Amino acid sequence: MLADFILTDEQKAIKEAAREFAEKEFPNYAEECDREEKFPFELWKKAAQLGFIGMSIPEEYGGQGLGVFDTCLVIEEFWRIDGGLGMITASTFGSEQIQMFGNEEQKKKYLPPLAKGEKICAACYTEPQAGSDVAGIKTRAD
């Protein structure tokens, strides 16, 4: 049996702000981005200025210091309007590894520009059972 789940007032506010932003801004970009197959940099910067990008990046590095669930609330509202444009939140994908395994110098260098919408991060993962196994690569010095 599933228990009832109640959002906090802060989570309700995040959800509402994300919905308002997406309803207002996404229609201005959706058709052009789909037609021209381009990333909406201007929209992404607006989202970053409002704190929707890098939400789980700690405050000390310019993020909101919120949890993954809070980010999911934003993604849900963004995707409600347009799934393609909703992917702007993925511009920090890979920052989790910096947060978990990076040293302090790396965190200070890479996390603030991600949270501010100045840089985009990417990560590449492999699945040995699916044909891509970076860990199995052998190099030679010929």
Of the chain, the end-to-end C-alpha distance in Å amounts to 61
Question: Tokens 């021209």 map to which residue?
Answer: 36
* Amino acid identity at 21: F
Q: Two tokens at 109? A: 């260098």
Domain ranges of the chain: 9-136
Whole-number pLDDT of residue 122 = 84
What is the model's pLDDT at position 123? 76
pLDDT for 129: 73
Find out whether 28 and 75 touch, Cβ atoms under 8 Å.
no
Cα gap 98→66, rounded to integer Å: 16
Q: Indicate the CATH number for domain 9-136.
A: 1.10.540.10
> What sign has the CA pseudo-torsion 94, 100, 102, 104?
positive
CB 63 within 8 A of CB 116: no
What is the Cα–Cα distance from 43 to 27, expressed in whole angstroms?
Answer: 11
Taking the alpha carbons of 121, 77, 35, 31 in that order, is the dihedral positive or negative? Answer: negative
pLDDT tens for the 142 residues of the chain, in order:
555 679 999 999 999 999 999 999 999 999 999 999 999 999 999 999 999 999 999 999 999 999 989 999 999 999 999 999 999 999 998 899 999 999 999 999 999 999 999 999 987 776 767 666 666 666 667 6
Strand partners, 127: 132
Q: Which residues are 63's β-sheet partners? A: none
56/88 Cα distance (integer angstroms): 15
